[in-house]
Structure 1
Amino acid sequence: MKKLSIVVPCYNEELTIHPFLEATQKVEAQMADQLIFDYIFVNDGSKDKTLEVLRQVAGQFENVHYLSFSRNFGKEAGLLAGLEAADGDLITVMDADLQDPPELLIEMFAKIEEGYDVVGTRRADRKGEPFIRSLFAKTFYWLINKISSTEMVDGARDFRLMTRQVVDSILELKEVNRFSKGLFSWVGFDVAYVAYENRERVAGETSWSFWSLLRYSMDGFINFSEAPLNLAMWSGAGAFVLSLLGIAFVVIRKLTIGGSIAGWASTVTIILFIGGLQLLALGIIGKYIAKIFLETKKRPVYLIKEKG
């Protein structure tokens, strides 16, 4: 019988772990003749009693295990640690807040049996989500698919069921600056998606603010596209061409009409414009250099303080 490893990154999820296990164990009972369930919770430096709850459930259930980081390293580190610890024939990634419906595992496993390598989930709508967050999310997916060769499905969740081969392929990607949504797509394989209605958290509050999501989306642009660098290059080229046209205009005016262009406002405006373009280009280049700097350090993505 095949083994299913369920990877669950946790940050301040003390209120959701028990409801998550209760819901998932119902599905486990329904699939008892098909899969052996194994749970791997990753405590990402939680500030609440998440670790205490994980110790409790690990002592209560033989198939529940946990890793606890020495500090908060971020969800990407939690995903990587869980995938590296998972030894199942099939692996899935789920959030503890039950926004990823456990009952979908039945349909997802059926599609794996049909021959798919990956079965992902995507939200059919964004009901209950703030309008500004939905707008920026849709804009992100539209833009990233325009400027990147790696297609990312709008509304796709990290919740996906993967074969051992797919996970091994993902783990071969050794980069420190990880953007899992892109990595899941980049490795390819035969993928099917299951749509479902958006769900609210079962308890607690999300740790993802608008600004943290915005920073995360910027990582996606940097990690999977050279478009920002091209923007800097073409902005510089455009400013150079405009400056040549300006010089030609001044020279021709001087030769044909005489006199000089009066006023300092236009001069200051041009200087500010060119300076702004230079700072924009330096900022974009600096972002890429920072990523290179972090990669060359070869620091571990996470440090484990405790296992159970």
Structure 2
Amino acid sequence: MKKLIKGARFTPRNYSDEVEAKIQQYKHEGVRLPQRHLLRTEEQLAGIRESAKINTALLDYISENIREGMSTAEIDHMVYCFTTDHDAIPAPFMYEGYPKSVCTSINDVVCHGIPSTKEILKSGDIVNVDVSTIYKGYFSDASRMFMIGEVSPEMKRLVEVTRECRDIGVRMAQPWTRLGDIGAAIQEHAEKNGYSVVRDLCGHGCGVKFHEEPDVEHFGKRGTGMMIVPGMTFTIEPMINMGSYEVFIDEADGWTVCTDDGLPSAQWESMVLITENGNEVLTE
């Protein structure tokens, strides 16, 4: 029996000998690989999937109830009640000081919009609702866009193309490819349609923690970045702007990210598990 090294971390494997052989091959070739603790065990995946079920059901619930005339504070209340009713915790609440249970980002707000009783949804608005759930210590994350009332054709197209960007990113998230492949494919589709991709924010590992490695950028070059390995779980959440990709953080609250030129932005987010044969969409 081998003596355990004091302080060493041992994670039960959740992949085949074939995967292990490929990991060793790419390691020998100097390819950047994820740390072993980012490859989920069966126990971890069971917990992450349960969290994801609640997160998706929450977005379905919001989809059924969001409406013109509603304040974003009402959305926050719905999120808190639904999540806690399912014995879960809203992950954003007090995360690094964030004061609410959900992010609600309207029109030129790219992300991290803080719900307010003074912010009322009106016809013509597009709004991103970003929800994240902790269930028995496991995390999940997703967001959807909602179009309120009569939305202009220009805004509808932005929302639709952004969803296409998310879907393209998900399709590109395959084992033994690179994270740069995801970003490059999203950027190509966005720019082909006349839009820009936000550079200052990205997707992220999620599951055992709210935010962990790797960073998943939505722009880049194919064949670059960390190799995607079976067992990884991360989000793909492109933020696509109608105008420039430049953004700024509102100094008044230190959270709200807005487009620099005041033009609209949209975002869709899913969380995926990389499998030996492709991927599994955990949230959408």
Higher helix share: 1
Select the structure of larger CA radius of gyration: 1
TM-score, reference length from structure 1:
0.27
